[in-house]
A and B are shown apart, each in its own frame.
Chain A
Amino acid sequence: MSNKLFLTPKFITTPSQNGVGRYVCQLQRVVLKFCKNHGSSRGLREFIEHDLINYSKENPGTVVYLKPRRHRGPVIVGEYLNGDQQSIYCRNFSREEISKWLNLLLSQSGNHDGTRLRKLWHTEHPSIQGPWTPYTFRDPMLNLVKFPNADLSKVLNQPKTATEQLLELFEKKKNDHAPKQQSE
């Protein structure tokens, strides 16, 4: 079921561990539908005349079918090993455009229309050294602390009170004046 209005969010999927041992092309068959007379199929007809033999020789794993039909628009239909089907309507496409779209079908692993990748990374082992917790890289002495603990229970980032500030100022002045008195 493909939704035309909204994209389905998906994660990266790879059919049957492709690429772990060797790479297997996932395109099973391609059907080129075209009209023998109409101008809108001209690019596809040119592609068939000039490039199709090379294309099928280079990709022996893919079956290519040709389906001429009168007075209908040209379509490329690809079928993948996972059962997906993808059709591309290529009215007035040039020969180069056709070969580009066919190469896209070749290099894809399924029909990704209507889906959006949520992450550009897939892994079975998200962490090797262990996931971070609030206790990683903390002082192990914290394990032996006995509660209630006055030092750890203090309110953090408490601003200085006016009394403390005044006391600090007084201490500072006292220190400033101390060496002078000695020199005299």
Chain B
Amino acid sequence: MSWLRQLCLNFTKYTRISTTGALNITNLRIGHAFSTAPTPYEVVNPNENRQLTDEIIGRVNEEKKGRLFAIVHLAGKQFKVTEGDVIVVEGYWPPTTGDKINLDKVLMLGAPNFTLIGRPLIQTSLIDVHATVIEKTLSHTKVNFKKKRRKQYKRINFYRIQQTMLRINKVGFVGELNKPEGVVVKDRSYT
């Protein structure tokens, strides 16, 4: 199964365009910082390995019901979460206790046998990650102490950071992989 695990699944585009390694040096003129020549590319045959891709997608659609994890981008940080987790968001963050929120910025979704990697995000129609705010509190008192030797300079400052605790209620995979017809863009609220 490890070969399946390592596959990054290409499900958003049928046609893959890859740049070739060789650059056309004759198009570069000395004295110019950048070349104006178009980036060389080659069109990869989309029907190549079609059978293998279809098989993998089929298996992913079968196996998506187990426990999943997701890498979620939230308030400037990334968290690896699964159902039942509690995470702490630090700093000022408006949601209050009891609020239920959808986490739409999902960078990766993983199951025991496959991983979906977003480029950089996974489509919101494919995933369902939601959470409840369960606590808003303050951190312990932190000390900011500055001193310069032999300069009669000493400053001390105490501060506490706001902390918001989130319970992850669900990490789900909804819809079918590689079915772009029914894509519905949800009303997004990125945090």
Residues of A within 8 A of B (CB): 7, 12, 14, 18-20, 23, 25-26, 104, 106-109, 112, 114-117, 120-125, 128-130, 137
A14-B82 in contact (CB<8A): no
Closest CB in chain A relative to B70 CB, distance in Å? 10
B85 close to chain A: CB less than 8 A: yes
**A120–B83 Cα gap in the complex (Å)?**
16
Our pick among A25, A116, A122 for the contact of B85 (Cβ within 8 Å) is A122
The B interface is mostly helix, strand or loop, or mixed, namely strand
A-B contact pairs, 5 of them (CB 8 A): A12-B88, A19-B133, A19-B167, A121-B87, A129-B112
A12-B136 in contact (CB<8A): no
Our pick among A7, A104, A128 for the contact of B137 (Cβ within 8 Å) is A104
B140 close to chain A: CB less than 8 A: yes
Interface string of B93-107 (1 = CB under 8 A from A): 000111000000000
B169-A121 in contact (CB<8A): no
The A interface is mostly helix, strand or loop, or mixed, namely loop
**A108–B160 Cα gap in the complex (Å)?**
15
A125-B96 in contact (CB<8A): no
B180 close to chain A: CB less than 8 A: no
Using Cβ atoms and an 8 Å threshold, which residues of chain B touch A117?
88, 139-140, 163
Residues of B within 8 A of A (CB): 2, 5-6, 67-69, 79-88, 90, 96-98, 110-112, 115, 132-140, 163, 165, 167, 169
**A116–B79 Cα gap in the complex (Å)?**
20
Closest CB in chain B relative to A100 CB, distance in Å? 11
Using Cβ atoms and an 8 Å threshold, which residues of chain B touch A112?
137-138, 140
B169-A20 in contact (CB<8A): yes
Using Cβ atoms and an 8 Å threshold, which residues of chain B touch A124?
84-85
B134-A109 in contact (CB<8A): yes
B87-A107 in contact (CB<8A): no
B136-A125 in contact (CB<8A): no
> Given contacts A20-B169, A128-B69, is CB(A107)–CB(B97) below 8 Å?
yes
**CB-CB nearest in chain B for A136:** B2
Using Cβ atoms and an 8 Å threshold, which residues of chain B touch A106?
97
A123-B88 in contact (CB<8A): no
